[in-house]
Amino acid sequence: MASTTTVRISKELSSEVAQIAALRGQTSGDLLAKAWKEFLARNKDVFAKDMEEAAKIIRTGTTQDLAAFLSSDVDASAELAAEQAEEAQG
Amino acid sequence: MSSRQGEESEFYAGLSLVLPDRELRVTQRCLTEDLDGRKDSTLEDVSGRPIVRAFLRERRTKTTGTRQVGQLRSQKEIWVVGQAHRHRGGTWYETARRIVWLVAAGHHESGSKDDFFPYCRQLDEEERLAPSKVDYRALFLAQKERLAARIMIDAPLLRKHAQESEGEVSGEIGGQFGVRVAIEVADEVEEISVAFDLRTLDHPRYLSAILAALEADGEWEPAETMPSRQLEHYESAFCHLGIRE
């Protein structure tokens, strides 16, 4: 099992997550895992719909179709990444 | 996408040279404005340019250099690569994504208004030095395409490995997501159990894509345990019942 994680979130959020995790005696990865569990529990219908779509792609689609399925948030992610790059001082 | 002979672990992909531990990538602005590339050119297309050769050679082994472009408004660490007397390039290492970007290229002629260093400062002032939304969109789409291809290859291989093994097997799908798979067979019924390391998850759709690539027919249900153990606090598990073919 992988023991390290690269989490691509803003420096501010990353810092806050690390502080909260430290206060709880946990790692950022532990908190992230907990957040994903809660997210999946709250979004069962969305997950079920995604499962159907992914299964259909695997049965009848192409790699490009699967890539498109995985790319639903690309525009928002790109905008955030560009903002972070512009603000980065390192 | 092409591989260099004898070095299958690295390959050109669009504007990137993908190495085992990082990507070397040119920004779209640098490609078209500084390197005279076309909008649809690839990094490989311009790899013969002297400064691109220097970029690929020097940043292959080190993410930074020995000299920076100073006095930038943004205070970014733009490291200089050079080729011969005149050719200069500026690179920025994006640690979180492990990408070395070639963000600017030009000629160094002290005192010239076109000198590389004031040119970099001007680009920085105009907020055109750092990778843009267009760069990241293209990067992410290319990465998702590679990930999709890896999922379609890695997941069936992991399942095959689990079928041939006793107990759980672990793997990293797409080189990044920690997954453990166990397969139990009773009579003709096959139960596949999968535990994901949620610390390695970037997007919930990766779960559904990986589960579908493991088995696309029938239903995946959430599971509270793996066959031989309780779940770790950072895991989420699913199981699938089917008829073994």
List, as ranges, residues 5-64 from B with C-beta within 8 Å of A. Answer: none
Q: Which residue in B136, B201, B211 is closest to A36 by CB distance? A: B201
CB contact under 8 A, B136 and A85: yes
pLDDT classification of B109: cutoffs 50, 70, 90: confident
B79-107 average pLDDT score = 94
Q: Which pTM does this prediction carry?
A: 0.82
Q: Which residue in A40, A74, A78 is closest to B236 by CB distance? A: A40
Amino acid at residue number B5: Q
Per-residue HEC secondary structure of A13-60 comes to HHHHHHHHHHHCCCCHHHHHHHHHHHHHHHCHHHHHHHHHHHHHHHHH
* Residue owning tokens 């798979």: B181
Lowest mean pLDDT: which of B19-28, B93-102, B111-120, B147-156?
B111-120
Closest CA to B104 of B128, B140, B125, B68: B128
Closest CA to B105 of B67, B52, B53, B65: B52
B196 sits in which H/E element: strand B189-197
* Per-residue pLDDT reduced to its tens digit, A27-46: 877 878 888 888 888 989 99
Residues from chain A that touch B204, judged by Cβ atoms under 8 A, are: 36, 39-40, 43, 46-47, 50
pLDDT for B4 beyond 80:
no
* Per-residue pLDDT reduced to its tens digit, B41-75: 999 999 999 999 999 999 999 999 999 999 899 99
pLDDT classification of B239: cutoffs 50, 70, 90: very high
Q: Which residue in B74, B180, B205 is closest to A1 by CB distance? A: B180
Closest CA to B167 of B223, B227, B215: B227
pLDDT classification of B6: cutoffs 50, 70, 90: very low
Closest CA to B99 of B139, B53, B51: B139
